[in-house]
Amino acid sequence: MNKLLWSLSLGAALVGAAGGAALAQSRDKTVVIANYGGAWAETLNRICIQPFTKETGITVTQAATEDSLAQIRAQQTTRNILWDIAPTERSGLPVSQKNGWLEPIDWSVVDPENKLPPIARKTHAIGSVAYSTTIGVRTDKLPEGKTFTGWKDFWDVKQFPGPRTLRNSPAENLEFALIADGVKPSEVYDVLRSPEGVDRAFKKLDEIKPAITVWWTSGQQPVQLLASGEVFYATAFNGRIQQLQKDKLPVALIWNGGSLDVSYYSIVKGANNAAAAMQFMKYCWNEPQRLAEIARAMPYSSFNPDLYKILSAEEARQLPTSPENIEVQFALNAEFWAENLPRIQKRWETWRLQ
């Protein structure tokens, strides 16, 4: 994908007069948000960007990126700041914080009523929405009379025989292995922080390895494998599994023991329009009505609890952050993986080839 800016808002025209003063004035009326494009960018445009521009006169443009962290690093190194808001999911947030590449969030602006829980209210980022890595199960392949409930069943190839797929990554798989071994989801990182805990996870992975027919590398792979019947059990993003359900395929989604992953957004250090960027953050990611619209457009949800006063009970049951679903999951610990992934990744690659 080219590093290309495309405008998703036609509301407020940039000041067209020549000269430095005119340029400064136009910057005051523009917020640039980096994104990965696709359906998410289209959803933001319709639900957030266009109405925000109409109400405030501030133009918002989206900048395409394939690697937000690399581009944040480049912009900070060259002091050529192109973005106001950038995605900082997974290791992007701890790495950028450690290097001083982000502005602190003014929560008196973004969350003045203190509605957001700590997971969505970081010193340098807001949790926009969350998605989950869950288990997809072909219900027509389940043994008669058996109910599949989570990771212990995923590991139980005698009671639940059949081909399986996992992501080709130690992140999340080590956590899933520990849950299968009896660790509570809320305690997986307490265990993983010790060398013995990592050993325990790999030992448990040894048990399931022969049943893994595909180690997937793209989000579409596991759902394609489920749809074709090539695997009976798969880890996959909740939205992908829910699309299979909409397509009337016999697939169940298991939230129990799922990995909740938050899509964070931050304000880049030296942003041209940090004040307006924070205004947009509140408007888009902390207003219940807009969050409900986003959740209805995509199977991903935010953290303002008032969101669930708007959605129906059936709509809420489909979302990662609903009270009943969030209770049985663990939050992916980006700080742990930012610190430990290089070491564990080497072991993972060796283990995979054994």
Tell me the average pLDDT across 26-51. Answer: 88
* pLDDT of the residue at 90: 87
17 vs 65: which has the higher pLDDT: 65
- CA–chain centroid gap for 225, Å, is 22
Work out the burial of residue 176: count CB atoms within 10 Å of its CB; fewer than 13 is exposed, 13-18 middle, 19 or more buried.
buried
Share the mean pLDDT of the chain. Answer: 91
Reported as a single tens digit per residue, the pLDDT across 127-179 is 999 999 999 999 999 999 999 999 999 999 999 999 999 999 999 999 999 99
Among 29, 32, 25, 28, which residue's Cα sits nearest to residue 7? 32
Q: Which residue has the tokens 């829910």?
A: 242
Give the global pTM: 0.86
* pLDDT of the residue at 133: 97
pLDDT band at 84 (very low <50, low <70, confident <90, very high): very high
* pLDDT of the residue at 28: 60
Q: How far apart are CA 163 and CA 301, in angstroms?
A: 31
**Full set of structural domains in the chain with CATH:** 5-130+263-326 (3.40.190.10), 131-261+328-353 (3.40.190.10)
Number of H helices, E strands in the chain: 18, 12
